[in-house]
Amino acid sequence: MTGYARTRREYTEASIEVEIRSLNSRFLKITASLSGVPLSREEEILGRVRQSVHRGTIHLTLDYAPAGREAPFRVNRAALAALLSDIAEASRELGRDLVIDAASLLSHEGLLVPAEIPEELVARDWPRVIETLDLALADLVAMRETEGTALRTELRARGEAIGRALSGVRARAPAHLAAFRERLRQRLDSTLAREGVAISAEDLARELVFYADRSDVTEELDRLASHFDQYFRLLDSPAEAEGGAAGRKLEFVVQEILREVNTLGSKTYDPEASRAVIDAKADLERIKEQLQNIE
């Protein structure tokens, strides 16, 4: 699900700003720009994001600037020395002096690097950094939940529409199966008479039952009803899903529903049921796409 949050806090000791953007994605991917955050503390930041968000592409920008910091950048002396050495060597090869001003030197990539913040300043301000991050995450989650509520309503409506169509198939199934058996009996009688073959009424009845049962969709409809019960239960109570992430569990249930609908379509000869199967498959594909974006 998509979302956006930005939180900025100004303190006497530091300024902290957090910006988070969330885009749709089936899996969780976090890209982070953590200005002022020591490498040793980056995993704590990313861990808190993972605790709040389980799916989506997350772009996190965190800017921490303590008031006691002398300068945000420092000169990479080793890189500067190497660059000056290269310039001197080039001057000798060309036989003339190469004059480069300081601004041009410092614009060279890698010469200015972020200055390390003393650990005592980081330790002093860290609770506020985490607090600011948590506030932004809470705003992001709230925005995603609003979108999730609307999406849940749409998913329920699509599921109910499929359920109504399948209820119609179930209501017509007994009469359709009886009609199919009668057409099959007439066809067999005609074929046997044309070929001059005689079989007992018992054998004929057995063959009719065998072929007619292959068109009986009662079991598929029963399994579909069970799957839809689980589908709606997960929509209404996502916490029932393992780990609290209903999206992946719903994906599995919808895949099972689609499998049963395909079987139903291959067994039925009812034109109305065939139309219901086509519509259901189209709706299920839309549901599958939407489920990839929810947690």
Model pLDDT for residues 249-288, shown as the tens digit of each residue? 899 999 999 999 999 888 777 788 888 889 999 999 999 9
Percent over 70 (pLDDT), the chain? 83
Tell me: pLDDT of 70 over 70. no
Residue 259 corresponds to which tokens in the numbers above? 């499998």
Mean per-residue pLDDT of the chain: 83
SS3 annotation, 94-127: HCCCCCCCHHHHHCCCCCEEECCCCHHHHHHHHH
Q: Could you tell me if 179 and 270 lie in one domain? A: yes
Q: Could you tell me if 125 and 169 lie in one domain? A: no
DSSP helix/strand/coil, 149: helix
For 10-25, what is each residue's pLDDT tens digit?
A: 998 899 999 999 998 8
> Does a structural domain hold residue 113?
no
Q: Could you tell me if 152 and 281 lie in one domain? A: yes
Q: Could you tell me if 138 and 152 lie in one domain? A: no
Most distant CA pair in the chain: distance in Å?
Answer: 113
Full domain range(s) for residue 90: 73-106
pLDDT given at position 17: 97
Q: Could you tell me if 186 and 211 lie in one domain? A: yes
- State the angle between helix axes of 119-195 and 218-236 in degrees (0 to 180), rounded to the nearest 10: 160
> Does a structural domain hold residue 112?
no
- The one-letter code for the residue type at 206 is R
pLDDT given at position 179: 72
> Does a structural domain hold residue 172?
yes
Start-to-end CA span in the chain (Å):
8
Q: Could you tell me if 131 and 212 lie in one domain? A: no
Q: Could you tell me if 174 and 283 lie in one domain? A: yes
Which residues on adjacent β-strands are paired with residue 65? 15
Q: Could you tell me if 183 and 79 lie in one domain? A: no
pTM: 0.64
Pairing of strands 28-35, 56-66: parallel
> Does a structural domain hold residue 126?
yes
Q: Could you tell me if 265 and 178 lie in one domain? A: yes
> Does a structural domain hold residue 111?
no
> Does a structural domain hold residue 93?
yes
Tell me: pLDDT of 42 over 80. yes
Task: Return the exposure string of 192-217: e unless at least 16 CB atoms fall within 10 Å of the residue's CB, then b.
Answer: eeeeeeeeeeeeeeeebeeebeebbb
Residues 245, 249, 251, 257, CA torsion sign: negative
Across 137-159, average pLDDT: 92
> Does a structural domain hold residue 65?
yes
How many domains, the chain?
3
Q: Could you tell me if 9 and 140 lie in one domain? A: yes
Q: Could you tell me if 19 and 132 lie in one domain? A: yes
Identify the CA nearest to 16 among candidates 72, 66, 60.
66
> Does a structural domain hold residue 273?
yes
Percent over 90 (pLDDT), the chain? 39
Phi, psi at 139, each rounded to 5°: -65, -40
- State the angle between helix axes of 119-195 and 39-52 in degrees (0 to 180), rounded to the nearest 10: 40
DSSP 8-state symbol, 26: S
CATH number for the domain spanning 252: value is 1.20.140
Phi, psi at 216, each rounded to 5°: -80, 120
Q: Could you tell me if 204 and 246 lie in one domain? A: yes
Please give the residue that has the higher pLDDT: either 163 or 80.
Answer: 163
For 73-121, what is each residue's pLDDT tens digit?
A: 666 677 777 777 877 887 887 877 777 777 776 677 766 666 677 788 8
List helix spans (H) across the chain: 39-52, 77-94, 102-106, 119-195, 201-213, 218-236, 246-267, 271-291
Tell me: pLDDT of 213 over 70. no
DSSP 8-state symbol, 67: T
Identify the CA nearest to 48 among candidates 130, 139, 146.
130
